[in-house]
Structures are given as C-alpha cells and as structure tokens.
C-alpha cells in the first residue's frame, strides 16, 4: 500500500531524514520507533505532504505522491493525527468530527446524497466506535488530554482513511488511557480494516500491536522487521542503549 524509498529532507543543511525506507502492506499495523529526534515526525510530515522531500520516493497505492498537497493526499486515503493535539478546541466533540465528515462528503457530493443527514449518522457512528458518544456535546477544549487525542483520531476517521497515521497516539496519556487507546487501535485495524502506521515511545504498546516495526536513528532506517527480529537485533539495541535512556526492553 505504501512504499517509501531513500527519502531525504534537510532543514538548513541539517538532515532530519537522510535515508528513510518503509513498507506498509494493506491491513498491517506498522510502528516506527527511534530515539527523540530520529526523524519520525518529519517522515510522517513528508508522507502526508506537510513537508516536501528533497529526494527519494513515496508511492501510495501505486502512485507517486511527490508534489501533491496534503489535501490531495488525504483524498487518496491517508489521514493522520498529530503529536501535538490538533482539534478545534471551542467546538463540541460532535462538531469537530462532523466538520471532517462533511468536508469529506462535500467533496464527494452528488445530486442524490443528502450530505447533512448522512453526516450526522456517520458522525454518531464514529463517536460510538471510539467511545466518545457520551461526551458528544462537550466543548472539546474541556476534555482530558487522553480524550482529546482520541477525538483527534475520530476526526481523522471522518476522512474515511485507508491508511491512518498516528504520531505518538498515547503521548501524555495515563496508563488507563493508554490501554484504551491500544484497544481502539486494535478495533480500527480489526473491525474497520484500516491500515495503521504509527510512532510511539511506549514499547509495550508497540510490541503488543505492531505486525512489523521500522527503527529509525539519525534520520535513517536501520531495520524494518517483525517484532521478534527487531527486539533481538544488535543495532537496534545499540541505538537505544547508546545515547538514550529509553530502553527497548519489553518482557512480553
């Protein structure tokens, strides 16, 4: 579904991404891990068109995404959430999701669709699937941090993605919120058939859900393999043990 080859991006001569390689198959859950500053967010920004690459290729469903705007990329089926929560904080939970649903429906509007009615039921469905139905009328800015991150996922779902990209979906969450977010990701993958690409610091979560894990260090891909292979790779252990106090240890 997604193939990233030799991708590069520099900021004022500093190579944030120098050689990223990534493959995501339809239906997979793929994690990107790596120490802070490894280039994970930059990689996601390149895939979703927020940044333009200096070199390399991004192929999505057989099409090169080079030169496409974030909007065009989203229309092709890639939706994302951000590391820093990105919602309309003064709108209600319901309104935030409905805006996404309506903007999607508007662009596929035809004479026979009742855009507004469909948006309401679809918004309700999405809120139900992420467990936010009971908070539909709340002002989004008043939600807990964990709920705001979940709401952001719900907004992303409004675009009916085939590939959902999540940048640190559990950052700042309590252990309970993290467990819920994990269950939600499983549900989206299993029941909705959405392909998921995410980066995450919580190694327990990564190893409990990812089918494959890509490891980045200093802007480069070190490896992309099944969890067991990654865990036992000496380069990966070095990347984590050398220079970072975030261990990759995970007993499960």
Q: Which does 180 bind (CB under 5 to 8 A by kind): Mg ion, ligand ADP, none?
A: none
Asked if 195 touches Mg ion (CB under 5 A), the answer is: no
Asked if 197 touches ligand ADP (CB under 6 A), the answer is: no
Are the beta carbons of 220 and 205 closer than 8 angstroms?
A: no
Rounded distance, CA 148 to CA 155, Å?
A: 10
Q: What is the DSSP string of 174-205?
A: -HHHHHHHHHHHHHHHHTS--EEEEE-S-HHH
For ligand ADP, the binding residues in 34-63 under the rule CB under 6 A are 34, 36-42
Q: Is 125 helix (H, G, I), strand (E, B) or coil?
A: helix
Q: 18, 41, 123, 217: which one contacts Mg ion (CB under 5 A)?
A: 41
Query: Of the ranges 31-39, 102-110, 122-130, 152-160, which one interacts with ligand ADP (CB under 6 A)?
Result: 31-39
* Min dist. Cβ of residue 40 to ligand ADP (A): 3
Q: What's 135-163 look like in SS3?
A: HCCCEHHHCCHHHHHHHHHHHHHCCCCCE
For ligand ADP, the binding residues in 142-181 under the rule CB under 6 A are none
Contacts of 172 (CB under 8 A, 6+ apart): 145, 146, 149
Asked if 110 touches ligand ADP (CB under 6 A), the answer is: no
Q: Which is nearer to Mg ion, 38 or 132 (CB)?
A: 38
Footprint of ligand ADP on this chain (CB under 6 A)?
11, 16, 34, 36-42
Footprint of Mg ion on this chain (CB under 5 A)?
40-41, 83
């Amino acid at each position: 579904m997604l193939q990233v080859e030799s991708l590069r991006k520099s900021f004022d001569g500093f190579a944030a991404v120098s050689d990223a390689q990534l493959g995501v198959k339809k239906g997979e859950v793929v994690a990107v891990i790596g120490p802070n500053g490894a280039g994970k967010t930059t990689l996601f920004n390149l895939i979703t068109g927020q940044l333009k690459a200096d070199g390399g290729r991004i192929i999505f469903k057989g099409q090169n995404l080079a030169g496409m705007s974030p909007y065009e990329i989203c229309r092709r089926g890639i939706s994302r959430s951000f590391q820093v929560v990105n919602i309309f904080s003064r709108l209600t939970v319901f309104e935030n999701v409905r805006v996404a649903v309506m903007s999607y429906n508007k662009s596929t509007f035809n004479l026979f669709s009742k855009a507004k009615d469909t948006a309401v039921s679809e918004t309700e469905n999405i809120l139900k699937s992420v467990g936010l139905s009971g908070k539909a009328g709340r002002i989004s800015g008043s939600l807990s941090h964990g709920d705001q991150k979940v709401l952001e996922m719900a907004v992303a779902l409004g675009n009916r993605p085939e590939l959902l990209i999540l940048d640190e979906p559990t950052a700042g969450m309590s252990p309970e919120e993290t467990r819920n977010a994990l269950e939600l990701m499983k549900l989206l993958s299993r029941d909705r058939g959405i392909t998921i690409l995410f980066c995450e610091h919580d190694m327990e979560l990564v190893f409990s859900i990812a089918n494959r894990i890509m490891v980045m260090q200093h802007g480069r891909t070190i490896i992309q393999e099944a969890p067991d292979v990654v865990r036992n790779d000496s380069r990966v252990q070095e990347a984590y043990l050398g220079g970072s106090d975030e261990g990759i240890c995970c007993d499960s």
